[in-house]
Amino acid sequence: MVSFSQLADELDASGMLGHLRNFPQDLARAWKAAEEWDLSAIEKQQFSGVICLGMGGSASGGDFLACLSDADGCLPFIAHRGYDLPTWVSEQWLVLSTSYSGNTEETIDATEAAIGLGCSVVGMSSGGELQTLLENSNQTWIELPGGQPPRSAFGHIFGAQIALSWKLGITSPPDDLDSMIVRLFEAVGACDFTENDGDDVIGEMAESILNREVSVLATQSLAPTAYRAVCQLNENGGIFARGHVIPEMNHNEIVAWGEHKATEKQSLLIFTWDGTHQRNEMRLNWYLDNITVEPTWGLMCEGESHLEALLYAVILMDWLSCAVALLRGKDPTAIGPIVGLKDFLSQ
């Protein structure tokens, strides 16, 4: 059995695993900080919806907000990754602009377009150009703690984003957030492969998918976890992965899965939870009974609320993606091609 604690000592030069251990604490700190926010400029306004601007790790929260609001909210959330704005955006839409560094080129461009359109903007960053832009435009800026890769700062970022949704009355927080944080810490401990050598499911999963094509499947109410999982495997692990969602994949990709020779080099990760729609659960059960893929890992996302199940999935995939990185001899923080592209664009 590979010693993940030894691999972490050798390869985790930038301390990614330490950030993963702090995830529940980051959420709690974001919710505490939100108690002091001044939202007087927007709290009495009526909006048609919220468009969430961002890229990469700063954008994932928009997908999670959309999923939660679709199930139990009063406004739509639309994630927008890119330059400019969709033509349907008007001043009746609240714009949530998130750039962890504050300097993301695409997000700054779209934020400038939103200000020019007369939209109300709430920006979240650790500083940078976004802070200056919003403060000079008399818009609302919320500070995020800095100093780490955006994809590892999901607790800071999404914690602040969901807190904004709660404070504006768009969605409602689950009961007893303190107890939820305790359970999330327990989940982190169970996933920490440096503490579980010899009895480590995350490490076993990582080894089983290492030399295979990785597919991530989620049931509808966990849809954003599939995309984030793919991104974490791409960025932390440095491997290709693809994601899909039940029931949509039942109308297309399932045909390819039924071609047995096509599955010989595949591995499959499946996210589900107790709140899955009954018909989607039936679809998943049929799929598992009729499609043979080895290895297949069923990931039951624990939690007493929809939010907790989503956050549990985040913890699972963050740790799995880093285990894959270490097995490949990669520092999970290293993102050489992204740095190279940004250097090219800055010329």
**Up-side HSE of residue 47: CA atoms within 13 Å toward CB?**
25
Element (H, E) at 154: helix 154-167
With a cut of 50, which residues of the chain have pLDDT below it? none
Name the domain boundary from 143, 167, 191: 167
- Parent domain of 318: 176-327
Per residue in 268-321, pLDDT (tens digit) is: 999 999 999 999 999 999 999 998 899 999 999 999 999 999 999 999 999 999
Indicate the pTM of the whole model. 0.94
Domain count for the chain: 2
**Per the domain annotation, does 344 fall within a domain?**
no
Q: Are residues 141 and 54 in the same domain?
A: yes
Strands (E), the chain: 49-53, 77-80, 93-98, 120-125, 140-143, 213-219, 241-246, 266-272, 296-300
Cis ω for the linkage preceding 295 (within 30 of 0): yes
**Residue 308 domain-assigned?**
yes
Whether 43 and 130 share a structural domain: yes
CA distances from 90 to 41, 121, 164, 309 (A): 18, 12, 20, 34
Q: State whether 163 and 300 are in the same domain.
A: no
Q: Which two tokens stand for residue 327?
A: 């097995």
Residues 289 and 249 in one domain: yes
* Overall size of the chain counted in residues: 347
Q: Which of 218, 219, 260 is nearest to 242 (CA)?
A: 218
**Residue 8 confidence (pLDDT):** 92
Domain assignment of residue 19, yes or no: no
Domain end (from 108, 136, 167): 167
3-state SS class at 243: strand
The answer to whether position 332 is within a domain reads no
